[in-house]
Amino acid sequence: MSKAWLSEAIYDQIGRGYSNFRRTDPRIAARVEAALGDARTVVNVGAGTGSYEPSDREVTAVEPSQLMIAQRPPGSAPAVRASAERLPFEDDSFDAAMAINTDHHWSDRPGGLREMRRVARGPVVLVNADPALARRFWLTRGYLPGYVNLTPEPSRKDGHWRHELRRLLGDVEIEPLPVPHDCRDGFYQAYWRRPHAYLDPRVRDSISVFPRLPEREVASAMELLRRHLDDGTWEERHGEILSLSELDIDLRLVTAVS
Protein backbone atom coordinates (compact mmCIF):
# COMPACT_ATOMS: atom_id res chain seq x y z
CA MET A 1 0.00 0.00 0.00
CA SER A 2 1.30 3.47 -0.86
CA LYS A 3 2.09 5.57 2.18
CA ALA A 4 0.45 8.50 0.47
CA TRP A 5 -2.93 6.86 1.10
CA LEU A 6 -2.35 5.85 4.72
CA SER A 7 -5.09 8.10 6.06
CA GLU A 8 -7.48 6.86 3.36
CA ALA A 9 -6.92 3.25 4.46
CA ILE A 10 -7.40 4.11 8.14
CA TYR A 11 -10.60 6.02 7.57
CA ASP A 12 -11.98 3.51 5.11
CA GLN A 13 -11.53 1.03 7.97
CA ILE A 14 -13.17 3.12 10.70
CA GLY A 15 -15.36 5.32 8.52
CA ARG A 16 -18.66 3.45 8.73
CA GLY A 17 -20.71 5.17 11.41
CA TYR A 18 -17.96 7.74 11.97
CA SER A 19 -20.36 10.66 11.73
CA ASN A 20 -22.50 9.21 14.54
CA PHE A 21 -19.76 9.87 17.10
CA ARG A 22 -17.57 12.55 15.53
CA ARG A 23 -19.55 15.77 15.54
CA THR A 24 -18.56 19.40 15.86
CA ASP A 25 -18.20 20.54 19.44
CA PRO A 26 -19.30 24.21 19.48
CA ARG A 27 -16.78 25.25 22.13
CA ILE A 28 -13.85 23.91 20.14
CA ALA A 29 -15.39 25.30 16.94
CA ALA A 30 -15.52 28.78 18.45
CA ARG A 31 -11.78 28.66 19.14
CA VAL A 32 -11.05 27.46 15.60
CA GLU A 33 -13.20 30.14 14.00
CA ALA A 34 -11.57 32.86 16.10
CA ALA A 35 -8.15 31.64 14.97
CA LEU A 36 -9.25 31.87 11.32
CA GLY A 37 -9.76 35.59 11.82
CA ASP A 38 -11.44 37.41 8.95
CA ALA A 39 -10.53 34.80 6.32
CA ARG A 40 -13.31 34.40 3.78
CA THR A 41 -11.91 31.46 1.80
CA VAL A 42 -10.67 28.43 3.74
CA VAL A 43 -9.27 25.06 2.71
CA ASN A 44 -9.96 22.27 5.21
CA VAL A 45 -7.27 19.60 4.83
CA GLY A 46 -8.15 16.09 5.99
CA ALA A 47 -11.72 17.29 6.17
CA GLY A 48 -13.44 13.98 6.87
CA THR A 49 -17.19 14.35 7.25
CA GLY A 50 -17.00 18.13 7.59
CA SER A 51 -16.75 18.82 11.31
CA TYR A 52 -15.59 22.34 12.21
CA GLU A 53 -16.08 23.76 8.74
CA PRO A 54 -17.43 27.29 9.30
CA SER A 55 -20.78 27.78 7.59
CA ASP A 56 -20.33 31.51 7.00
CA ARG A 57 -17.17 31.21 4.85
CA GLU A 58 -16.30 29.73 1.50
CA VAL A 59 -14.77 26.37 2.38
CA THR A 60 -13.08 23.84 0.12
CA ALA A 61 -12.61 20.41 1.70
CA VAL A 62 -9.71 18.08 0.92
CA GLU A 63 -10.14 14.42 1.90
CA PRO A 64 -8.48 11.23 0.56
CA SER A 65 -11.14 8.74 1.74
CA GLN A 66 -14.18 8.34 -0.49
CA LEU A 67 -16.02 6.66 2.39
CA MET A 68 -15.60 9.79 4.50
CA ILE A 69 -16.62 12.07 1.65
CA ALA A 70 -19.79 10.02 1.20
CA GLN A 71 -20.80 10.79 4.80
CA ARG A 72 -20.59 14.56 4.39
CA PRO A 73 -24.09 15.93 5.00
CA PRO A 74 -26.11 17.60 2.26
CA GLY A 75 -25.07 21.20 1.76
CA SER A 76 -21.50 20.60 2.94
CA ALA A 77 -18.59 22.38 1.33
CA PRO A 78 -17.41 20.84 -1.95
CA ALA A 79 -14.84 18.11 -1.38
CA VAL A 80 -11.76 17.39 -3.46
CA ARG A 81 -10.34 13.88 -3.18
CA ALA A 82 -6.63 14.49 -2.60
CA SER A 83 -3.91 14.13 0.03
CA ALA A 84 -2.40 16.84 2.20
CA GLU A 85 1.03 16.19 0.76
CA ARG A 86 -0.09 17.21 -2.74
CA LEU A 87 -2.74 19.87 -2.54
CA PRO A 88 -4.12 20.51 -6.05
CA PHE A 89 -4.17 24.29 -5.73
CA GLU A 90 -2.03 27.22 -6.80
CA ASP A 91 0.08 29.18 -4.33
CA ASP A 92 -1.91 31.57 -2.11
CA SER A 93 -5.25 30.19 -3.30
CA PHE A 94 -7.02 30.67 0.05
CA ASP A 95 -7.19 33.21 2.83
CA ALA A 96 -6.58 30.45 5.40
CA ALA A 97 -5.99 26.72 5.81
CA MET A 98 -7.18 24.46 8.62
CA ALA A 99 -6.59 20.85 9.69
CA ILE A 100 -8.39 19.38 12.69
CA ASN A 101 -7.05 16.22 14.38
CA THR A 102 -5.66 14.86 11.13
CA ASP A 103 -2.01 15.71 10.47
CA HIS A 104 -0.73 12.79 12.59
CA HIS A 105 -2.06 10.47 9.84
CA TRP A 106 -0.25 12.08 6.94
CA SER A 107 2.48 9.97 5.36
CA ASP A 108 4.67 13.08 5.06
CA ARG A 109 3.56 15.42 7.82
CA PRO A 110 6.20 18.10 7.17
CA GLY A 111 5.30 18.03 3.49
CA GLY A 112 1.61 18.44 4.27
CA LEU A 113 2.24 21.39 6.56
CA ARG A 114 4.40 23.05 3.94
CA GLU A 115 1.60 22.56 1.45
CA MET A 116 -0.88 24.23 3.81
CA ARG A 117 1.48 27.15 4.21
CA ARG A 118 1.94 27.34 0.43
CA VAL A 119 -1.75 27.57 -0.46
CA ALA A 120 -2.79 29.93 2.37
CA ARG A 121 -2.22 33.68 2.21
CA GLY A 122 -3.12 34.05 5.86
CA PRO A 123 -3.42 31.86 8.93
CA VAL A 124 -2.80 28.13 9.07
CA VAL A 125 -4.86 26.68 11.93
CA LEU A 126 -4.27 23.23 13.42
CA VAL A 127 -5.83 21.27 16.25
CA ASN A 128 -3.92 18.25 17.49
CA ALA A 129 -2.14 16.78 20.48
CA ASP A 130 1.38 17.66 21.55
CA PRO A 131 3.12 14.24 21.52
CA ALA A 132 5.32 15.23 24.46
CA LEU A 133 2.20 15.47 26.66
CA ALA A 134 0.67 12.10 25.76
CA ARG A 135 1.17 10.57 29.20
CA ARG A 136 -0.97 13.26 30.82
CA PHE A 137 -4.03 11.28 29.78
CA TRP A 138 -5.00 8.52 32.20
CA LEU A 139 -6.04 6.19 29.34
CA THR A 140 -2.58 6.33 27.79
CA ARG A 141 -0.68 6.33 31.06
CA GLY A 142 -2.53 3.46 32.71
CA TYR A 143 -3.96 1.33 29.93
CA LEU A 144 -2.66 2.06 26.42
CA PRO A 145 1.04 2.94 26.71
CA GLY A 146 1.48 1.80 23.11
CA TYR A 147 -0.26 5.01 22.04
CA VAL A 148 2.96 6.88 22.73
CA ASN A 149 4.83 4.73 20.22
CA LEU A 150 2.50 5.76 17.40
CA THR A 151 4.52 8.97 17.22
CA PRO A 152 8.17 8.87 16.05
CA GLU A 153 10.55 9.03 19.00
CA PRO A 154 12.03 12.49 18.29
CA SER A 155 8.56 14.06 18.31
CA ARG A 156 7.95 12.82 21.86
CA LYS A 157 10.68 15.04 23.27
CA ASP A 158 9.53 18.17 25.05
CA GLY A 159 9.59 21.14 22.70
CA HIS A 160 10.25 19.15 19.51
CA TRP A 161 6.71 19.51 18.17
CA ARG A 162 6.72 23.28 18.78
CA HIS A 163 10.11 23.62 17.12
CA GLU A 164 8.96 21.64 14.09
CA LEU A 165 5.82 23.75 13.69
CA ARG A 166 7.84 26.96 13.80
CA ARG A 167 10.33 25.59 11.29
CA LEU A 168 7.60 24.57 8.85
CA LEU A 169 4.99 27.28 9.33
CA GLY A 170 6.86 30.33 10.61
CA ASP A 171 5.73 32.31 13.62
CA VAL A 172 3.14 30.25 15.49
CA GLU A 173 1.00 30.68 18.57
CA ILE A 174 0.29 27.47 20.47
CA GLU A 175 -2.51 27.54 23.03
CA PRO A 176 -3.99 24.88 25.31
CA LEU A 177 -7.35 23.61 24.12
CA PRO A 178 -9.13 22.13 27.12
CA VAL A 179 -11.55 19.29 26.35
CA PRO A 180 -15.12 19.77 27.69
CA HIS A 181 -16.41 16.97 29.90
CA ASP A 182 -19.35 16.45 27.55
CA CYS A 183 -17.43 16.96 24.33
CA ARG A 184 -19.60 16.18 21.30
CA ASP A 185 -16.64 15.21 19.15
CA GLY A 186 -15.59 11.70 20.11
CA PHE A 187 -11.86 11.87 19.48
CA TYR A 188 -9.37 9.91 21.59
CA GLN A 189 -9.29 12.27 24.58
CA ALA A 190 -12.97 13.26 24.45
CA TYR A 191 -14.28 10.77 27.03
CA TRP A 192 -11.83 11.63 29.80
CA ARG A 193 -14.72 12.02 32.30
CA ARG A 194 -16.82 9.23 30.73
CA PRO A 195 -14.47 6.24 30.99
CA HIS A 196 -17.17 3.64 30.35
CA ALA A 197 -17.47 5.02 26.80
CA TYR A 198 -14.15 3.46 25.84
CA LEU A 199 -15.62 0.00 26.49
CA ASP A 200 -18.12 0.55 23.66
CA PRO A 201 -16.69 -0.88 20.41
CA ARG A 202 -18.71 1.65 18.41
CA VAL A 203 -16.89 4.45 20.18
CA ARG A 204 -13.52 2.82 19.61
CA ASP A 205 -14.38 2.20 15.96
CA SER A 206 -14.71 5.95 15.44
CA ILE A 207 -11.28 6.73 16.93
CA SER A 208 -8.29 6.16 14.67
CA VAL A 209 -5.95 5.32 17.56
CA PHE A 210 -7.51 1.92 18.17
CA PRO A 211 -7.08 0.30 14.74
CA ARG A 212 -3.48 1.49 14.71
CA LEU A 213 -2.69 -0.49 17.86
CA PRO A 214 -2.41 -4.31 18.07
CA GLU A 215 -5.80 -5.91 18.71
CA ARG A 216 -4.39 -7.88 21.63
CA GLU A 217 -3.13 -4.72 23.32
CA VAL A 218 -6.49 -3.00 22.93
CA ALA A 219 -8.43 -6.03 24.19
CA SER A 220 -6.18 -6.35 27.23
CA ALA A 221 -6.45 -2.63 27.99
CA MET A 222 -10.24 -2.65 27.77
CA GLU A 223 -10.51 -5.70 30.03
CA LEU A 224 -8.29 -4.00 32.62
CA LEU A 225 -10.30 -0.78 32.39
CA ARG A 226 -13.52 -2.74 32.81
CA ARG A 227 -12.19 -4.40 35.97
CA HIS A 228 -10.98 -1.10 37.39
CA LEU A 229 -14.34 0.54 36.76
CA ASP A 230 -16.18 -2.36 38.36
CA ASP A 231 -14.02 -2.61 41.47
CA GLY A 232 -13.58 1.13 42.05
CA THR A 233 -9.88 1.29 41.21
CA TRP A 234 -10.42 3.80 38.41
CA GLU A 235 -12.38 6.19 40.62
CA GLU A 236 -9.85 5.81 43.43
CA ARG A 237 -7.06 6.84 41.06
CA HIS A 238 -8.85 9.46 38.98
CA GLY A 239 -11.95 10.48 40.92
CA GLU A 240 -10.71 14.06 41.33
CA ILE A 241 -11.39 14.80 37.65
CA LEU A 242 -15.07 13.88 37.94
CA SER A 243 -15.87 17.35 39.30
CA LEU A 244 -14.14 19.20 36.44
CA SER A 245 -16.05 20.74 33.55
CA GLU A 246 -13.03 20.69 31.23
CA LEU A 247 -9.52 19.30 31.29
CA ASP A 248 -6.27 20.31 29.63
CA ILE A 249 -4.94 16.96 28.47
CA ASP A 250 -2.63 17.40 25.48
CA LEU A 251 -4.80 19.08 22.85
CA ARG A 252 -3.41 22.29 21.37
CA LEU A 253 -4.65 25.03 19.04
CA VAL A 254 -1.93 26.15 16.66
CA THR A 255 -2.20 29.37 14.69
CA ALA A 256 0.50 30.30 12.19
CA VAL A 257 -0.03 33.78 10.77
CA SER A 258 2.93 33.92 8.41
Q: How far is CA 125 from CA 66, 98, 141, 144, 206, in A?
A: 24, 5, 28, 29, 23
Percent of the chain with pLDDT over 70: 90
Look up residue 246 and give its amino acid. Answer: E
pLDDT tens track for 132-154: 999 999 999 999 999 998 876 65
Average pLDDT over the chain reads 91
3-state secondary structure of 189: coil
- How many distinct structural domains can be found in the chain? 1
Average pLDDT for 196-208 = 94
Distance CA 72, CA 76 (A): 6
Please answer whether residues 42 and 76 qualify as being in contact, where contact means their C-beta atoms are separated by less than 8 angstroms.
Answer: no
Domain that holds residue 121: 3-256
End-to-end CA distance of the chain: 35
3-state secondary structure of 20: helix
> Quick check: 90 pLDDT over 70?
yes
Could you tell me the CATH number of the domain that includes residue 225? 3.40.50.150
> Quick check: 159 pLDDT over 70?
yes
pLDDT of residue 11: 53
> Quick check: 157 pLDDT over 80?
no
Rg (alpha carbons) of the chain, rounded to whole number: 18
How many C-beta atoms lie closer than 10 Å to residue 224's C-beta? 15
Average pLDDT for 239-253 = 97
One-character DSSP codes across 197-237: GGG-HHHHHT-THHHHS-HHHHHHHHHHHHHHHHHTHHHHH
> Quick check: 223 pLDDT over 50?
yes
Closest CA to 38 of 95, 98, 119: 95
pTM > 0.85: yes or no: yes
pLDDT of residue 5: 39
pLDDT of residue 6: 45
pLDDT of residue 156: 64
pLDDT tens track for 4-41: 434 555 555 554 556 678 899 999 999 999 999 999 99
